[in-house]
Every structure is written in C-alpha cells, then in structure tokens.
C-alpha cells in the first residue's frame, strides 16, 4: 500500500436515517473522484458502526467497477464487535469477508485509547481522508485534527449538511 494513493475514512457512529442516502452518495462520489483524478487505489476504514460501515460497503460496491482498488480494515482490538447487536455483527463479518486486508492496530482486547491508536495509524498511512463530522467535540474531530496536522487532505462531507 502506497501512502500517496491511500484514503481513510472517519466519521460518526450515528448517521440519521434521513441523511444516510446522502452520505452514501457523497462517499461514492468522493471515492470515485479520488480514484479517477488522484489515482487512489487503497481505502482504509476502522471497522466501526455508522460511517465506517457505510464507507466499507461503498468501497465493496465500487470494487465491481474498479477491480484494482482495495479495502483495508484497521481494527482497534480483537473484540471490537463483542457488544454489537447480532445484525450489526453479521454486517461486520460480511465486510470482513470482502476486505483485502485486516490489520489489528493493537494486539489485545478493548482498552481505553485503542480507538485513538487505530485512528492515528489510519491517518499516518494515508494522504486523503473522507470524513463525516458534524460534532466538533468527538473522536472524529480529534482524528481530523490529527490528520490535518500531518498533512492529510480532508474532505468533510458533513460540512455540507
């Protein structure tokens, strides 16, 4: 994976039902723009609920059109899905089955700080970030701030809503 051609996703876990279609469409549009205009071939998600799930499902669909792009999951801990609803666990397993790689950014179960370690690694390994941030006091906000500080180019689709 070449950092110059890599994009990661970060966003809130809760996406209102009335805007989820808009978010899906914007992710698809921005990802295709990066593929076609910047040569991006690798996309990273953190494997979480909400925005990460929508982003992963979008990249899986785009792989049908762009068979050379890859989906990488950066997972913060071994038991990330443990407390998810069964339907969400099922969706998570499906996404994992389509991922080109799964990287655990810590080698343990959940602990305070494991998500931040994952988020920093996603940013460190990328040049671009497609984000959905509406709340400036959130993990997403922290991740975007960090990514900007190391030179990532941020596309925040939450700014438009």
Please say whether the beta carbons of 110 and 80 come within 8 A. Answer: yes
Q: What is the pLDDT of residue 104?
A: 97
Please say whether the beta carbons of 116 and 142 come within 8 A. Answer: yes
Band of pLDDT at residue 136, cut at 50, 70 and 90:
confident
Q: Which two tokens stand for residue 80?
A: 């990330």
Residue with the larger pLDDT of the pair 16 and 155: 155
Spatial separation of the C-alpha atoms in residues 60 and 89, rounded to whole Å: 17
Q: What is the pLDDT of residues 75-86, one digit of tens each?
A: 999 999 999 999
Alpha carbon 73 to its chain centroid, in Å, reads 8
Q: What is the pLDDT of residues 52-102, one digit of tens each?
A: 999 999 999 999 999 999 999 999 999 999 999 999 999 999 999 999 999
Q: What is the pLDDT of residue 138?
A: 78
Spatial separation of the C-alpha atoms in residues 118 and 98, rounded to whole Å: 20
Q: How many independent structural domains does the chain possess?
A: 1
Residue 18 half-sphere exposure, CB side, CA atoms within 13 Å?
A: 1
Q: How many CB atoms lie within 10 A of CB 39?
A: 10
Q: Look at residue 147 and tell me whether its pLDDT is greater than 60.
A: yes
The pTM of the full predicted model, rounded to 2 decimals, is 0.95
Q: Which domain covers residue 73, as residue numbers?
A: 3-160
Q: From residue 59, how far is each of 8, 18, 82, 128 by CA, in Å? A: 11, 21, 24, 15
Strand partners of residue 7: 43, 128
CATH code for the domain in which residue 147 is found: 3.40.50.450
Residue with the larger pLDDT of the pair 23 and 139: 23
Q: Look at residue 160 and tell me whether its pLDDT is greater than 70.
A: no
């Amino acid at each position: 994976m070449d950092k110059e051609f890599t994009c990661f996703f970060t966003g809130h876990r809760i996406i209102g039902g009335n805007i989820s279609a808009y978010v899906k469409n914007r992710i698809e549009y921005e990802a295709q723009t990066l593929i076609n205009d910047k040569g991006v071939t690798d996309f990273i998600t953190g494997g979480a609920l909400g925005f990460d799930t929508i982003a992963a499902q979008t990249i899986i669909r785009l792989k049908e059109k762009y068979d050379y792009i890859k989906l990488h999951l950066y997972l913060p801990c071994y038991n990330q899905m443990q407390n998810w609803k069964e339907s969400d666990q099922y969706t998570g397993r499906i996404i994992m089955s389509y991922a080109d790689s799964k990287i655990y950014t810590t080698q343990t179960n959940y602990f305070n700080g494991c998500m931040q370690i994952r988020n920093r690694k996603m940013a460190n390994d990328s040049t671009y970030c497609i984000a959905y941030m509406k709340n400036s006091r959130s993990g997403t906000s922290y991740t975007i701030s960090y990514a900007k500080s190391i030179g990532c180019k941020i596309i925040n689709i939450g700014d438009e809503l």
